[in-house]
Amino acid sequence: MSNSPVPIERRFIQTRSCRLHIAISGEGFPVLLLHQTPRSWDEYREALPRLGRHYRAIAMDTAGFGDSEPLPSGEESIESWAAAAHELLDELGLTRVALVGHHTGAAIAIEMAASQPARVKALVLSASPYVDAAARVNYVGRRIIDSAERQADGGHLVKLWNMRKQLYPEDDIALLERFMIDALKAGERAVNGHRAVRRYMMEDRLPLISCATLVIAPTADADAYQNARRVADAIRGSELVEIEGGMVPLPNQMPDRFAQTVDDFLAHALTGSLEPARVGDLRL
């Protein structure tokens, strides 16, 4: 990648359902980036201009998160968020794209690729959840992360901070503060986003993916790392790449490594040079 800086432009786009906020960097083949719950486009703030050196990188705020409006129906589901993202692509006039999703964003990307396969040329699933019938049963009664009831003395802020602290690098307080800003903006949607993932019928959708797919497994993101092989095995011809030391905030934590991994994959996937069978496992 060139070291030349690429500016970021921010816009609001009115779709059929709601007004969505996006950040755009660069020119070339369009790559839509989807964030985890309860983050925003800020999850890709550092990676976006790096990808913008070769692509038209577009990071959107999921409906109801960041600066995007919630859906007027009030529905909060992977399917509804994916449909809103497709509406965004319609408004931008993009008929063919690559998708990059992290955590919840990966689930949304899966649904986008499954529901409109002709539109998705390549897919990157970073730290993807894996939700099937057994997982949905296992979730019943389990605590949901980011669930902190408001308290007059602000104690819920400390509770939320401590919930996430162990998932972030010890020496990066600023990164955790950025999470807190997004979480406070999201309010109850922070918890609802996790609930939406738990309800998603992912096992029915993964086999419908037909495009070139990369599954990124951050080794220090315990649940995602455990799920990565199952996600990859469910998608015919997918690649699996491990990123050593990667944690829950991977795109912010390791923006150079993350962007380079995505760029290396897309450089082959968008030219159709990937083999139809699994390319193999890599460790970065």
Q: What are the structural domains, with CATH classification, of the chain?
A: 9-283 (3.40.50.1820)
pLDDT(276) > 50? no
**What whole-number percentage of the chain has pLDDT above 70?**
94
Cβ atoms of residues 211 and 121 within 8 Å: yes
179, 202, 239, 247 from 167: Cα distances, Å: 11, 24, 25, 7
Please name the residue ranges forming H helices in 27-77. Answer: 47-51
Output the pTM of the full model.
0.94
The pLDDT, as a whole number, for residue 274 is 43
- Comparing 7-16, 19-28, 136-145, 153-162, the range with the smallest average pLDDT is 136-145
Token pair in block for residue 118 = 């002709």
List the structure tokens of 173. 């307080």
- pLDDT score of 42 more than 80: yes
Q: What is the pLDDT of residue 249?
A: 98
> What local confidence, expressed as pLDDT, does residue 4 receive?
67
User: Which of 69, 47, 203, 226 lies closest to 131 in space, CA to CA?
Assistant: 203
Is the confidence at residue 104, as pLDDT, over 60? yes
Interaxial angle between packed helices 104-115 and 78-92, expressed in degrees from 0 to 180 and rounded to the nearest 10:
70
Span 193-207, pLDDT tens digits:
999 999 999 999 999
Average pLDDT (48-67) is 98
114 or 139: which carries more pLDDT confidence?
A: 114
Query: Which token pair is 4?
Result: 């030349």
- Please state the rounded mean pLDDT for residues 211-230: 97
Query: What confidence score (pLDDT) does residue 74 get?
Result: 87
Q: Once rounded to an integer, what is the mean pLDDT over residues 23-48?
A: 98
At residue 171, does pLDDT exceed 90? no
The SS3 of residue 213 is strand
For residue 266, pLDDT beyond 90: yes
What integer best gives the mean pLDDT of the chain? 93
pLDDT band at 142 (very low <50, low <70, confident <90, very high): confident
8 Å CB contact between 220 and 246: yes
pLDDT of residue 280: 35
pLDDT, tens only, 89-102: 999 999 999 999 99
Model confidence band, residue 2 (pLDDT cutoffs 50, 70, 90): low
Band of residue 268 on the pLDDT scale cut at 50, 70, 90: very high
By the 10 Å C-beta count (0-12 exposed, 13-18 middle, 19+ buried), 186 is classed as buried
**Residue for token digits 């486009």?**
41
